[in-house]
Amino acid sequence: MKTSLLKIFAIVALISFASCGDKAKEAETKEAEAVAKSEDAAVTYNANTEKSTIEWKGFKPTGSHFGTIGIKQGKVKVNNGAIESGKFVIDMNSIVVKDMPAEAEGNTKLTTHLKSPDFFDVETYPNAQFEVTGVTTTEGKTMLSGNLKMKDATNNISIPVSTKIEGDTMTLTSETFTIDRSKWNVEYGSKSFFDNLGDKFINDDIELKVTLVAEKE
């Protein structure tokens, strides 16, 4: 019996270790910075809101949920194929849950909860915003830095991205990354704000992947 229990604990430990190893890297986060300016020669690309999206995933001890958020509007200025400046607005009212059928009661309940003051309080803060502060190359990767404003907080994050320009269309795609929601005062079920949650906590890390499709102005 003792041997069987040890085997079970070993399996659980291996699963937990693998889950941690698979988690996307957290974006470097620091205080807000001055926004980037562009040269007069820069070309403007306007976000195609139908084709642009942000994928999200949240975690808790019993599993995870995932879905999408829409991009409401945005502009990116490009010079010689490189991003110089830009800003896009995220429609927090467009949060969609994708891991259960749209008509399911659980889907409606979770979507409503995410939009409530417990989480993103979309009635008070209908939009989030990302504004470019700089672009650098680190270890062969293009790192896009910008001020992410969400709810009543603004932090600067740096995320790895790739860009592709085909004709009059530019596509910016980020690698999957995480942000710590507690830094934007998203408090519900967070160990950063509450003690004695037991296994009822929700991880602070939110996994994100951005796809921005923009057309030449």
DSSP for 131-180 reads EEEEEEEETTEEEEEEEEEETTEEEEEEEEEEEEEETTEEEEEEPPEEEE
Which tokens in the block code for residue 66?
């995932």
Q: Is 47 exposed, middle or buried (0-12, 13-18, 19+ CB in 10 A)?
A: buried
CB 23 within 8 A of CB 182: no
Q: Is the pLDDT of residue 6 over 80?
A: no
Q: Is the pLDDT of residue 207 over 90?
A: yes
Which of 173, 88, 91 lies closest to 132, judged by CA?
Answer: 88
Residue extents of the structural domains in the chain: 26-216
Question: pLDDT band at 53, cuts 50/70/90?
Answer: very high
> What is the pTM (predicted TM-score) of this model?
0.86
How far is 206 from 58, CA to CA, in rounded Å? 5
Q: Is the pLDDT of residue 189 over 50?
A: yes
pLDDT in tens, 109-153: 999 999 999 999 999 999 999 999 999 988 889 999 999 999 999
How far is 199 from 52, CA to CA, in rounded Å? 35
Which of 130, 107, 111, 136 lies closest to 47, judged by CA?
Answer: 130
∠ Cα 141 168 43 (to 5°): 70
Please give the average per-residue pLDDT across 148-165, as a whole number: 97
In the block, residue with structure tokens 């592709």: 164
Question: Which CATH architecture best describes the domain 26-216?
Answer: Beta Barrel (2.40)
Please give the average per-residue pLDDT across 156-168, as a whole number: 96
